[in-house]
Homo-oligomer: A and B are copies of this chain.
């Protein structure tokens, strides 16, 4: 019997072992509340067939600081794949050392969010990718400069051709965004203890994590933080029951109101997706809370009107820690070399 077949048989035996009644009941409760394991198949974004060529190109673009005006800032600067897919700063530092208005969300599993940005103003990852490249406080570039930069390097021209076959003029700002989306679709983190638990492995979560999961559902956290990303699926007012202080909810950022101009969307934000949240401090769109337990307590008071005591918050944090998955292995890309026609960095 080959090793792989043997492993499969053993795996099947474990997977089909009868779960404890309590664990099975907890699993069903979580599933009823909308929580689910990460899918094992690659998501397929709209209007952007994923190919290996496009993923490779997208990885190069994701790491290429020459998408920014200065030549210093890449997607990975604020969505660092070695640091939970964000930058661990309250708000990001961008062009000219300016500070961005909101905390950088993680790029990991972002494909599973209903829309991108804290206010959902980008419908998908390819729409999102165009934002920071052009934002004056982030990469401060312009589409025509980006296209000029990419077109000046023969290797990029060739790779765009391979990634977008049949297009007469493949090096475009839109296609840059599509390639980045293709790479980002691969940035998923399976195998978290929570996922393994949901797939039937009782031992994947500790008793404290299971208690936390039970509390997370019972206290109503799953009203907002649900679905495959444990959040990221819909929009809710921050301060539904009681508005947090101005340090956490600055009055000048009205959230989704800026997108919809509907009064009911004042201080409305996309519920934060909570996968890998242990890696992505500080928390909230304002990035002012560094401690995950404190963030849980803030949420209890602001959204649920419930005093979550320290012991309960500790258990919920234990559950949140079970949402940390396996980071994808990424080989650092060797980027195309510049030529005489590559636009010079602009500070």
| Contact of A331 with B334 in the complex, beta carbons under 8 Å | no
| Contact of A340 with B290 in the complex, beta carbons under 8 Å | yes
Stretch at the interface among A46-54, A78-86, A111-119, A166-174: A78-86
CB neighbours of A334 from chain B (8 A): 82, 327
Q: How often does this chain occur in the complex, in copies?
A: 2
Interface residues on A, range: 35 or more
- In residues 293-347 of chain A, which contact B (Cβ within 8 Å)? 327, 329-335, 337-338, 340, 344-345, 347
- For A63, A332, A334, the residue with the greatest tally of chain B CB atoms inside 10 Å of its CB is A332
For the complex, give the distance between the alpha carbons of A194 and B328 in Å: 36
CB distance from A88 to the nearest CB of B (A): 6
For the complex, give the distance between the alpha carbons of A343 and B252 in Å: 28
CB neighbours of A77 from chain B (8 A): 72
For the complex, give the distance between the alpha carbons of A290 and B337 in Å: 13
Stretch at the interface among A8-16, A89-97, A263-271: A89-97
For the complex, give the distance between the alpha carbons of A90 and B346 in Å: 11
CB neighbours of A65 from chain B (8 A): 80, 83, 87
A-B complex: 3 closest residue pairs judged by Cβ atoms? A97-B97, A82-B335, A330-B332
**Could you show 16 A-B contacts with beta carbons less than 8 Å apart?**
A60-B82, A63-B82, A64-B82, A65-B83, A65-B87, A71-B88, A72-B87, A72-B89, A88-B345, A89-B345, A97-B97, A278-B337, A281-B338, A291-B340, A327-B334, A330-B331
